[in-house]
Amino acid sequence: MINLNEVGARASQDAGGNWQINFGIYLPGITFNKGYRLKLRIIHEFDQFVRGIEPADFWMSWENGSELDLWTASVSLQPNTASRFGETGRYLYRYQLLRGEQEVTFWFADPFGPESGVGTLSSVTVEPDQQPFPWLDAVFQVPEVDQMVVYELNVREFNRDFDGVILQLDYLWDLGVNVLELMPVTNVKEDVEWGYTPLGYFAPDERLGGIDGLKRLVNACHVRGIAVILDAVYAHAHPEFAYSQIYKHSGEPNPMMGNFAGEFFNDNPGADYTKPFTRDFFFVLNQYYLEHYHVDGFRYDYVPGMYDGFMGQGYAQLVFRTYEHSRSISRFAAPNRSKIIQCAEHLPAPQEILSKTYTNTCWQNGLLDLSGNTARNHFVNASFAHQLDPQMNGYPSEYHYESSGDRFPVAPFQYLESHDHARFINSFGAGAVRDLLGEAYGDRGDFYKMQPFIIAFYTAKGIPMLWQGQEFGENWGVPGGGIGRNLFERPLHWEYFYDGPGKALVRLHRILGKLRRETQALTSRGYFYYYFESDHLNKQVIAFRRNSMDGLPGASAMIAINFSNQTQQIWLPFPETGIWKEHIDGHHSPVEVNSDNEWLPINVPGNYGAIFLKT
């Protein structure tokens, strides 16, 4: 069993005021008895590039009889007049593995290191007056599945670092957002990287703000009522990840990496969940982020590489153990439902994942794909309306495990964009300008054509997810393959926020975000599609009702969306007597309904829509 109290690096002070750092690392199968030696190389951060100052070397001791072959060292920080060694501050370190006098692995970072340096380095901070982090989220509760509106962002591209994201939380709240999904934030080797080849799983990247920066962001989000989930890359790692390198070089049986499930790196196999060490590593990692950083869950990347069936040792077991652990944490404590957010990216079989594992949300490209096809072909049909109700496409509304009695609501994410695809506005046509990779920017002159899709996105069943910049018509392209996909930085064009298209789109997102947050019908499980081919589809209009399942009067919303370029008049049966007002713009005259289910005409503007609520 992995014990984080004996691995990684921890600075402490003895009764005499002297500082020392305790180091530990598990290397199963790498033992002193086989002739292996493990060297620790450590240097003060300020000495790193000073001529004539070399790292201090220390030999690690193998703990004979330890279950996971623990190697340890306790380094006393005795002052050295020729360097900064012994002073407080940050120390950078790495390991070197030898067998006898022969070098096996010249350089590898600590797989349990809680801090990172740039590149393949770990770090540890000696700070005399360090105080516990002042968490302010004791009363925070994670939003229920049906209440969620998610915003996916890349911290660096969005606004530089964790503190930059904090500056924009009011902006995100005004879009209706109450869950942030952060693309990978752990240490990576390359300076520009999406984060999907982790190097140090336990270390938030210091270029984004490191340990304190991530804590500040989560704390600020919770104070604002926003949950935070992390992109969890648990199927594969960087080739220089410690457990990839060491065992490839030594030839010893690898306790963690191997061929498993749908893993696609043939020369650098991914995480192998048939191995106990792998299963324990990622479960302990989840515990660490839930407890140490107060995150609210995980979006599991590339679940096919972790999944060996709903009764398997991989993904299914990990999310079950994580769910069980979360029940002891106050922000997830709610009877008969899962409050931790566990989101799977298993695009081939998302319905199965929600039906058969302890997963309450998932990515699925249904709305993205169908919206793109609709936009390119200038044609809308009933399948688009069906996509707005996931249950029509085989998605469950609840997970129920009969053996334990556990049950909780589930729903897929619904989105027009994600980081894996070119921007939705690009579906309507490309402009003349191209980026450095040769990818064309979308034509933002067609921004108004996005509007009906945005209305559908916010009013659909399921969980709306925005990809950063969608709200002002971001128009980057993304190549279909190659290193340009994830090693090319695409910072948001924040100047778009101020131009005509950006202002119009942000305004619409804000109106709909507020409606989603405040309107019971839009976060309900009720959905009824009015299928009228001649009156609706021939005019490129879809219309549906969202209504609360509790049967209370007035908990209905009538929604009509027009994908054509002209204003269209359609007829709808309003379910209750009373005065109904339109709530996107309020330009429609109020509709007076004199009897339940009375059919009345409404005019729907081109490339727009209408949402009627009873006053």
Query: DSSP states of 433-486 as a string?
Result: EE-TTSPEEE-GGGGGGGHHHHHHHHHSSSEEEEETTGGGT------SSSTTTT
Give which of 511, 550, 554, 546 is closest to 527, Cα–Cα: 546
Give residue 436's pLDDT.
Answer: 86
8 Å CB contact between 447 and 475: no
Domain with 588 in it: what CATH number? 2.60.40.1180
Name the residue with higher pLDDT: 73 or 195: 73
Q: How would residue 129 be classed by pLDDT, with cut points 50, 70 and 90?
A: confident
* CA–CA distance, 212 with 209 (Å, rounded to integer): 7
Is residue 551 predicted with pLDDT exceeding 80? no
Q: How would residue 595 be classed by pLDDT, with cut points 50, 70 and 90?
A: very high
pLDDT, mean of residues 426-442: 90
Could you tell me if 535 and 502 lie in one domain?
Answer: no
Is residue 552 predicted with pLDDT exceeding 80? no
Is residue 232 predicted with pLDDT exceeding 90? yes
pLDDT, mean of residues 425-443: 90
Give residue 554's pLDDT.
Answer: 61
8 Å CB contact between 277 and 285: no
8 Å CB contact between 169 and 218: no
The answer to whether position 391 is within a domain reads yes
pLDDT, mean of residues 270-278: 97
Could you tell me if 456 and 553 lie in one domain?
Answer: no
Is residue 470 predicted with pLDDT exceeding 60? yes
Give residue 338's pLDDT.
Answer: 60
pLDDT, mean of residues 39-52: 96
| The domain boundary residue, chosen from 460, 495, 518 | 518
Q: How would residue 553 be classed by pLDDT, with cut points 50, 70 and 90?
A: low
Could you tell me if 308 and 421 lie in one domain?
Answer: yes
Could you tell me if 419 and 378 lie in one domain?
Answer: yes
| The domain boundary residue, chosen from 94, 126, 158 | 126
The answer to whether position 132 is within a domain reads no
Per-residue tokens: 35: 């002739």
Give residue 443's pLDDT.
Answer: 94
Residue tagged 């069980």 (tokens)? 324
Instruction: Please tell me the chain's helix, strand, coil percentages from 3-state DSSP, rounded to the nearest 5.
Output: 30, 25, 45
Give residue 534's pLDDT.
Answer: 87
The pLDDT tens digits of the residues spanning 174-187 come to 999 999 999 999 98
**How many domains is the chain partitioned into structurally?**
3
Could you tell me if 325 and 224 lie in one domain?
Answer: yes
The answer to whether position 37 is within a domain reads yes
Domain hosting residue 187, numbered range: 146-518
pLDDT, mean of residues 448-452: 98
150-153 and 463-467 beta bridge pairing: parallel
Give residue 533's pLDDT.
Answer: 86
Could you tell me if 175 and 319 lie in one domain?
Answer: yes
The pLDDT tens digits of the residues spanning 314-360 come to 999 999 999 999 999 988 876 655 689 999 999 999 999 999 999 99
Q: Which of 43-52, 132-141, 544-553 bottoms out in mean pLDDT, i.e. has the lowest? A: 544-553
Could you tell me if 324 and 467 lie in one domain?
Answer: yes
Give which of 28, 33, 113, 111 is closest to 66, Cα–Cα: 28
* CA–CA distance, 315 with 299 (Å, rounded to integer): 12
Q: How would residue 113 be classed by pLDDT, with cut points 50, 70 and 90?
A: very high
Q: How would residue 233 be classed by pLDDT, with cut points 50, 70 and 90?
A: very high
Percentage of the chain with pLDDT > 70?
98
The pLDDT tens digits of the residues spanning 480-530 come to 888 888 889 999 999 999 999 999 999 999 999 999 999 999 999 999 999
pLDDT, mean of residues 417-426: 96
> For residue 611, what is the enclosing H or E element?
strand 608-614
Per-residue tokens: 187: 């240490």
The answer to whether position 22 is within a domain reads yes
Could you tell me if 348 and 324 lie in one domain?
Answer: yes
Is residue 21 predicted with pLDDT exceeding 90? yes
Give residue 189's pLDDT.
Answer: 85
Per-residue tokens: 2: 């992995």
pTM of the model: 0.96
- Residue 513 carries which DSSP code? H
Give residue 334's pLDDT.
Answer: 67
8 Å CB contact between 560 and 574: no
Measured from the Cβ of residue 141, the count of other Cβ atoms closer than 10 Å reads 16
- Residue 346 carries which DSSP code? -
Name the residue with higher pLDDT: 552 or 475: 475
* CA–CA distance, 163 with 493 (Å, rounded to integer): 19
Query: DSSP states of 570-588 as a string?
Result: EEEEESSSEEEEE-SS--S
